[in-house]
Amino acid sequence: MNAPKHSAFADTAEEAIAAQDAAAAAADFADGMTSEQATEVAMQNTLLTPRFYTTDFDEMDSIDVTPVRSDWDKLIAQMKSDPNKGHFKKNDDWQVDWEGMDPALRKEFIDFLISSCTAEFSGCVLYKEMKRRGSNEDITTLFQLMARDEARHAGFINDTLREAGIRVNLGFLTQKKKYTYFRPKFIYYATYLSEKIGYARYITIFRHLEKHPEHRFHPIFQWFREWCNDEFSHGEAFALLLKTDPKLTSGVNKLWIKFFLTAVYSTMWVRDHQRPLFHDALGVDVTWYGQEVFRKTSEISKQVFPFTLDIDHPRWQANLNKMEAASRQIAAAKARGGIEGTVSRLAGMAKAATAFVSTLLIPSIPNEVPESPRMEPAY
């Protein structure tokens, strides 16, 4: 049997996953409990944790990319050329001091890594399944290429966790984590947004640390620039898929787009505010960071969405903060338990729902969508 390649050099998702499994088997960690706990965290399905998705693969397989053919072929050629082959490999810049890290920061950082690894792997699982089930060559080619990238990303983060003695069991997750069903159009909105917001998040941290290298408390952030270009390409692919059918971005679907934009932005806001030490260590004001990521994502999304959210509206941040406070109330109530806990939890959920609806009702800003959506990563 040939030894599997390093996941960074894998050409397919299958190879990358095999490489991760082999590396995991080779590493003998005494800290088994921690890995189990990490996998448990990754298994959680709440409003705030990354989910695994399934969809109507036959409907997705029937997409005809003819209306966007020339942009499509260019994008696929670029992804096939694989500019980041070999990027996800450590070099001499990789100097980690897990022991020297403040334990509370370490906890938040590990939580960030587990959540990121799960999100990356969620993309891998969905894309790989589409590739496996499909027969439309345009679609299977794209999804194979995206699955390859996401497997590398998840593998790289898992490798980082392994150095701290923790491993998220990706094989176990694939089999046991609950899958959420989304109709294909919802997959397009949600995945387009998560790819573009992923790009905006990675590049914003990278650019910030370029200016403030003293805050780079772990080497993984140095890998973010090339990394986020993969996410940018994935987002481009979904922009083209959305462009194949004008109905996807008009009529009642505009309401769905607004719903997804609001849900994705507010989830990110709430989740990031739960990691104050992590953002302090990066020297990043978490409110500034959130707004900056929304601004970049909104600007990019003008390529395909007929409006953007008004993130400078007076009710915007106020409502996000209410959702964040409600989520803290819900968590505390759950921990307390009993009747009092239940009452407080329900009250928290009502508060969060009210703030969410109020955010949804903020008038959006109309946008003239360009003929060709293609963009280059410019941040």
Interaction residues for Fe ion, span 191-230 (CB under 5 A) = 195
Angle between helices 32-43 and 103-133 (to 10 degrees): 60
Nearer to Fe ion, 234 or 275 (CB): 234
Is residue 261 within 8 A of residue 272, CB to CB? The reply is no
Task: Give the contact letters, 268-307, x = binds to Fe ion (CB under 5 A), - = no.
Answer: ----------------------------------------
Picking from 157, 124, 145, 129, the residue whose alpha carbon sits closest to that of residue 38 is 157
Q: How far is the CB of 276 from Fe ion (least distance, A)?
A: 25
Total residues binding Fe ion (CB under 5 A): 6
Strand residue runs (E) in the chain:
52-54, 179-181, 307-308, 365-366
Nearer to Fe ion, 184 or 348 (CB): 184
Amino acid at position 78, single letter:
Q
Q: How far apart are CA 319 and CA 297, in angstroms?
A: 19
Nearer to Fe ion, 120 or 138 (CB): 120
Nearer to Fe ion, 142 or 330 (CB): 142
Q: How far is the CB of 362 from Fe ion (least distance, A)?
A: 28
Contact with Fe ion (CB under 5 A): which of 231, 236, 292, 324? 231
Picking from 251, 265, 231, 235, the residue whose alpha carbon sits closest to that of residue 355 is 265
Task: Give the contact letters, 167-186, x = binds to Fe ion (CB under 5 A), - = no.
Answer: --------------------
Q: How far is the CB of 213 from Fe ion (least distance, A)?
A: 24
Q: How far apart are CA 215 and CA 231, in angstroms?
A: 24
Task: Give the contact letters, 116-155, x = binds to Fe ion (CB under 5 A), - = no.
Answer: ----x-----------------------------x--x--
Beta-bridge mates of residue 53: 180
Q: How far is the CB of 314 from Fe ion (least distance, A)?
A: 34
Nearer to Fe ion, 116 or 359 (CB): 116
Is residue 4 within 8 A of residue 18, CB to CB? The reply is yes
User: Three-class SS of residue 49?
Assistant: coil
Nearer to Fe ion, 154 or 309 (CB): 154
Q: How far is the CB of 236 from Fe ion (least distance, A)?
A: 11
Q: How far apart are CA 12 and CA 134, in angstroms?
A: 16
Contact with Fe ion (CB under 5 A): which of 234, 243, 279, 296? 234
Nearer to Fe ion, 71 or 195 (CB): 195
**Angle at Cα 330 formed by Cα 324 and Cα 334, nearest 5°?**
150
Q: How far is the CB of 336 from Fe ion (least distance, A)?
A: 37
Q: Which residue is listed with tokens 């609950």?
A: 178
Interaction residues for Fe ion, span 83-122 (CB under 5 A) = 120
Amino acid at position 61, single letter:
D
Nearer to Fe ion, 38 or 228 (CB): 228
Angle between helices 69-81 and 137-162 (to 10 degrees): 40
- Asked if 236 touches Fe ion (CB under 5 A), the answer is no
The number of residues in the chain equals 379
Q: Which residues bind Fe ion (CB under 5 A)?
A: 120, 150, 153, 195, 231, 234
